[in-house]
Amino acid sequence: MRYPEEHKDAVRSRIVEEASRALRKAGIDGVSIPALMKRAGLTHGGFYAHFENRDELVAEAVRFAANETGAGVFERARSLDEALGAYLSAPHVDAPEAGCVVAALGAEGPRQSAPVRRAFAWAARGLIDLVQQKLAPGRERARPSDEALEVTARMVGAVVLARLVDDEALGRRLLAVARRT
């Protein structure tokens, strides 16, 4: 029996969403296709009915995660300060599987295949654009301002460092300093 096209699209979306969470938590090489499919409640054999290869799934998962951050942090925030408060927070640091894909996996991006690198480039540029929009609402810019680049780098760097220092108090201080400056 064939399923309607909507069913296939819904299953694909479920796989991408599960992959985005698993990859952000365990790293790009930290999760196998069988494990991802199991998380989605499906069999490994069904993977190729939805994706040509693993890189296609990873690239789509990176884009999904970037859109999730955009919607969850930037679209809800009324100002840059509000967005920074959400991004530079203990819950964001403590839950990489639900957070920014650039902070969670960005360092792995350059070592990936071309389609995955392109997805990471799209995510990083999108994050810069979201910051730019909060800095200058309603103004379209062909190039992001230096301030948008600085703020974005500070945001991502503070989250990465807060996860790395293995000292909760120092991690929280990093976030606070990044929010203040």
> Looking at residue 62, which CATH number applies to its domain?
1.10.357.10
Residue 116 lies in a domain: yes
The verdict on residue 13 lying in a domain is no
pLDDT tens for 9-33 read 888 999 999 999 999 999 999 989 9
- Banded pLDDT at 7 (limits 50, 70, 90): confident
Q: Is 152 within the bounds of a domain?
A: yes
Q: How far apart are CA 11 and CA 89, in angstroms?
A: 32
Whether pTM exceeds 0.75: yes
List Cβ neighbours of 15 (8 Å cut-off, separation of 6 or more).
Answer: 36, 37, 40, 42, 47, 50, 51, 57
Mean pLDDT across the chain: 93
pLDDT at residue 8 is higher than 80: no
49 within some domain: no
The pLDDT assigned to 2 comes to: 65
pLDDT at 1 over 60: no
In a domain? residue 83? yes
Residue 62 covered by a domain: yes
- Rounded Cα distance between 63 and 116, Å, is 10
Residue of 108 and 42 predicted with greater confidence: 108
- Is residue 145 a part of any domain in this protein? yes
- Looking at residue 68, its amino acid is E
Q: How many domains does the chain have?
A: 1
Higher pLDDT, 25 or 3: 25
Residue 5 pLDDT > 80, yes or no?
no
Asked if the model's pLDDT at residue 108 lies above 90, the reply is yes
Give me the domain span that covers residue 73: 54-180
CA distance 167 to 8: 45
- Give the torsion sign (CA, 164, 149, 100, 61): negative
**Is position 144 within any domain?**
yes
> What percentage of the chain has pLDDT greater than the value 70?
96
